[in-house]
């Protein structure tokens, strides 16, 4: 099948499986086939992050991402049809940039008004700002996810009810609210890696939130603190949360009996 590549960003699949124990017991090659599927996907310049799921919602999860939706679909089908894994839930989204990001002109104005920096000094600061923003955009659109030890995933949408309709707010009001929300997230830099992916018109929810951390307490702390921010407290609805242990694929499969 011809590749299908988004014009901006990558496709992202969060796949959640249970293990057919009876089938797995009689299939000694099951683990190898799953590992082969993961290796083949990554050889095609995609990534698959495997994790054993805590709780009852699934046995194992795979976050697969990369440029070609047809390749991601083939990977999904390979796992679901040729192994003892039963797909029980999924989420489809794209990597994207925030529409509320600061523009260069806004940063120039901030330097002048808040720090009284103009002229050559401002240009030097803006050059460094452009480098940071380029790195930020690359990480948002084409992330390479590290093997942190714990993962949490949940879908969310902005609320649309009388008195708390996010989409009825003026853009500048939404941008100001999101700036405050982002400041909370930046307080966890180095502790939590956050990837927000867009699913409006693609899945039942508008965004998927993936959090990665070495300390699982940090996952709880960031979500708890953000609940007090108006963007979450007044304007957000959340789906089910799934938490897991990020492992090398063979280790994750071993944890669930493959």
Residues known to be catalytic: 154
In angstroms, the CA 55 to CA 101 distance is: 36
Structure letter (DSSP) for residue 11: E
- Give the span between the Cα atoms of 205 and 60, in whole angstroms: 22
- Across-strand partners of 152? 211, 243
> Do 170 and 68 contact (CB within 8 A), yes or no?
no
C-alpha–C-alpha distance, residues 200 and 194, integer Å: 19
Alpha-carbon Rg of the chain, whole angstroms? Answer: 20
Going by their DSSP bridges, the two strands 160-161 and 11-19 should be labelled as: unpaired
Structure tokens at 168: 């009825």
Backbone angles phi, psi at 72, to 5 degrees: -65, -40
Strands 160-161 and 164-165, by their bridges, are antiparallel
In angstroms, the Cα distances linking 121 to 109, 115, 143 are 13, 11, 32
CA distance 105 to 93: 30
């Amino acid at each position: 099948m011809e590749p299908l590549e988004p014009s901006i960003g990558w496709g992202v699949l969060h796949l959640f499986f249970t293990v057919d124990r009876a089938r797995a017991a009689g299939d000694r090659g099951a683990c190898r086939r799953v590992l082969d599927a993961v290796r083949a996907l990554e050889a095609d310049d995609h990534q698959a992050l495997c994790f054993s799921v805590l709780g009852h919602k699934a046995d194992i999860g795979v976050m697969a991402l990369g440029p070609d939706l047809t390749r991601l679909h083939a990977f999904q089908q390979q796992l679901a049809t040729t192994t003892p894994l039963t797909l029980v839930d999924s989420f489809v989204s794209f990597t994207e940039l925030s529409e509320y990001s600061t523009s260069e002109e806004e940063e120039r104005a901030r330097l002048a008004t808040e720090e009284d920096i103009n002229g050559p000094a401002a240009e030097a600061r803006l050059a460094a700002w452009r480098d940071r923003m380029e790195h930020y955009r690359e990480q948002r659109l084409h992330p390479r996810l590290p093997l942190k030890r714990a993962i949490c995933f949940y879908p969310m949408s902005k609320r649309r009810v009388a008195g708390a309709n996010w989409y009825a707010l003026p853009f500048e009001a939404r941008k100001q609210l999101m700036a405050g929300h982002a400041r909370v997230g930046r307080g966890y830099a180095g502790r939590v890696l956050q990837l927000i992916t867009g699913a409006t018109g693609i899945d039942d929810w508008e965004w998927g939130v993936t959090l990665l951390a070495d300390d699982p307490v940090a996952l709880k702390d960031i979500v708890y603190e953000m609940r007090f921010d108006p963007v979450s407290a007044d304007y957000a609805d959340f789906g089910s949360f799934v938490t897991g242990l990020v492992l090398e694929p063979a280790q994750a499969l071993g944890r669930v009996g493959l």
